[in-house]
Amino acid sequence: MDRVISVFKRIPIVLWFVLLLVIVFSFISEHYLTMRNLVILLQQGAALLVVASAATFVIISGGLDLSLGSILTLSGVTVALSLNAGVPIPIAILIGAATGFACGAINGVLISYSGLQPFIVTLGTQGVFYGFALVMTDKVGVPVSNESFIFLGSLVNKIIPMAFICCLVIYIFAIFVQDRTRLGRYLYAIGGNMEGARLSGINTRFWKWLVYAFAGFLAGLAAVVLVARLEVADPLVGMKWEFEAIAATILGGTSMNIGKGDVKGTIVGVALLTVIRSGLNVIRIPSLWQPAIIGAVIILAIVFQVGITAKEMKK
């Protein structure tokens, strides 16, 4: 019995929140807790999982990236334009990822080598990257019709969520990087104690740069999946993604400014945001009201999570 209790205790409180919401929504609508709706949820949450992982990396390292949504948008646009220009699919995917990496690398150079504040740098590049996407598309979505590419984001036979599977693979790769590579180690070292990391002979500038570049790379991969799922590269698609990515990170138990956190927790935060969003449609909240409600719920959940994280810290 004790063992059962201890297992329950280890489940993050945010996950209980998710379950509670699912139960509430399934009482309100009989369509909510069906296989069909479940795979749709997985498809919808997939890209956010990857972007939120990117945000988690940056936040563990003591930084912040407000440009992830714009990187997602711009990468999506380059992927779609490449495909429409007849570029083979693997190369198009590579172009999307490379666009993300390049954007992240620019952030990294400005932050790590010029010593500017991440907040102001990425707020600025948010505008720049988004602006490029607008110019390249003339503010009109770029439709993609390459069947093999669209397969990567589709719901095969209405039951196999390919977008989710792709993103899960990327997510597992991110966990590997965090737990099993030098980048992952140094991430914590730099976030927890920058001066200590430098005195340990870690080239803090380079690794900090790499964190941003890697985050951009992940956002670029997310863009590939997102475009495949939506079958269009919309220059407005990335709005607010950075906020949700950061929110998911914090809901997942990662703290700002102290080098503590885990990409593995971020999936719980993504689940909560996805469930809330879907639930609002189920209970027929008018779409104009949804942003306000989502924002308020996120803040409420974060207040809880931050309180819990602070308590854990004191132990």
Partner 1 sequence: MANEYLLEMNHITKVFPGVKALDDMNFNLKPGEVHVLIGENGAGKSTLMKVLAGAHAPEGGELFIEGKKVTRFSPMEAQKYGIGIIYQEFNLVPYLSVAENIFIDHMPKKAGIYVDKKKMHEEANKLLGDMKMNVDTHALAGDIPVAQQQMVEVAKALTHDLKILIMDEPTAALSDREIENLFGIVRSLTEKGIGVIYISHRLQEIPIIGDRVTVLRDGKYIDTQDVKDITTEELVRLMVGREIKDLFNRERQAPGEVVLKVENLCSEKEGLHDINMELRRGEIVGLAGLVGAGRTELARALFHVDPYESGKIYLFGEEISKNLTPHQVIKRGLSLLPEDRKQQGLSLILSIAQNIVMASMERIQPFGWIRSKIEKRVVDRYIKDINIITPSREQLAGNLSGGNQQKVVLAKWLCTQADIIIFDEPTRGIDVGAKGEIYALMNELVKEGKAILMISSELPEIIGMSDRIYVMQNRRIVKELQSSEATQEVIISYAMEGAREEERQDG
Find the binding residues for partner 1 in span 178-197 (CB under 8 A). Answer: 179-182, 184-186, 188-189, 192-193, 195-197
Size of residue set near partner 1 by CB under 8 A:
23
Q: Measured from the CB of residue 311, what is the shortest distance to partner 1 in angstroms? A: 15
Q: Does 175 help bind partner 1 (rule: CB under 8 A)?
A: no
SS3 287: coil
Based on CB atoms, which residue is closest to partner 1, 189 or 246?
189
- Report the alpha-carbon distance of residue 114 to residue 28 in Å, rounded: 53
Instruction: State how far the alpha carbon of 42 is from the alpha carbons of 122, 172, 223, 228, 271, in Å.
Output: 29, 16, 16, 15, 9
Element (H, E) at 223: helix 204-230
Closest CA to 271 of 6, 50, 90, 18: 18
Nearest to partner 1 of 126, 255 (CB atom): 255
The whole-angstrom separation of Cα 112 and Cα 94 is 25
77, 80, 93, 202: which one binds partner 1 (CB under 8 A): 202
180/240 with CB nearer partner 1: 180
Least distance in angstroms from the C-beta of 215 to partner 1: 18
Which of these, 198, 187, 167, 171, lies nearest to 57 by C-alpha position? 187
Per the structure block, which two tokens stand in for 179? 């737990």
Asked if 148 is part of the footprint of partner 1 (rule: CB under 8 A), the reply reads no
Residue 6 is which amino acid? S
The window from 25-33, 70-78, 141-149, 253-261 that contacts partner 1 (CB under 8 A) reads 253-261
- Nearest approach in angstroms of CB 261 to partner 1 is 10
Contact between 10 and partner 1 per CB under 8 A: no
Beta-bridge partners for 143: 232
- Comparison of 26 and 193: residue with beta carbon closer to partner 1: 193
> Contact residues for partner 1 (CB under 8 A)?
179-182, 184-186, 188-189, 192-193, 195-203, 258-260
